[in-house]
Structure formats: C-alpha cells, structure tokens
C-alpha cells in the first residue's frame, strides 16, 4: 500500500521508496527513509497534499510524492 492509502492517524512503516534519485535524495533529507515510522495527520480537501509526522517532525508532501512511498500498516 502507498502512503496515500493510509487513513488519518494510522501509523505505518516505510517499506520502499519508488522514485527517481533526485526525489529520493530530497525525501531522505527530510527523514523519510526505509524502516521509519510515519503517520498521516491531515489531508487537504482535494487530497493533493498530506501533512505527515515522521521522527517527531511535521512535513507536508504532495500526494504524487506520497504515492511513491510504499508502507506497511503497523498495528
């Protein structure tokens, strides 16, 4: 499942990041790395942007970027 598929307040572990090296480097610099726990806190009305919490940081990312982040639901 992708990060876009998570419901609000669900926590998941990042399994893989499927994007080009430029975007992958940007995401890594924000702490979005394989194995990290991530939570979606808010989505815009059009679901075009997500506010996420990762490593005690709050970050906004575009939905098309979130769709390239593969996650595994943590119970």
Counting the structural domains of the chain, the total is 1
Strands 11-17 and 49-54 come out as unpaired
Q: What are φ and ψ of residue 27, in 5° steps?
A: -65, -40
Q: Is 55 left (phi over 0), alpha (psi -120 to 50) or beta?
A: left
Q: How far apart are CA 58 and CA 30, in angstroms?
A: 10
In this predicted model, which residue has the larger pLDDT, 34 or 75? 34
Residue 75 has pLDDT above 70, yes or no: no
| Residue range of the domain that includes 37 | 3-73
Q: What is the pLDDT of residues 4-48, one digit of tens each?
A: 999 999 999 999 999 999 999 999 999 999 999 999 999 999 999
Q: Is the pLDDT at 74 greater than 80, yes or no? A: no
Q: What would the two tokens of residue 35 be?
A: 């194995």
- CATH code, 52: 2.30.30.90
Quote the DSSP letter at residue 2. B
């Amino acid at each position: 499942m992708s990060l876009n598929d998570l419901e609000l307040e669900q926590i998941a572990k990042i399994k893989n990041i499927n994007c080009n090296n430029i975007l992958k480097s940007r995401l890594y610099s924000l702490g979005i790395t394989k194995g990290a726990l991530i939570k979606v806190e808010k989505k815009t009305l059009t679901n075009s942007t997500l506010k996420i919490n990762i490593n005690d940081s709050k970050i906004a990312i575009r939905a098309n970027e979130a769709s390239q982040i593969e996650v595994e639901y943590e119970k």
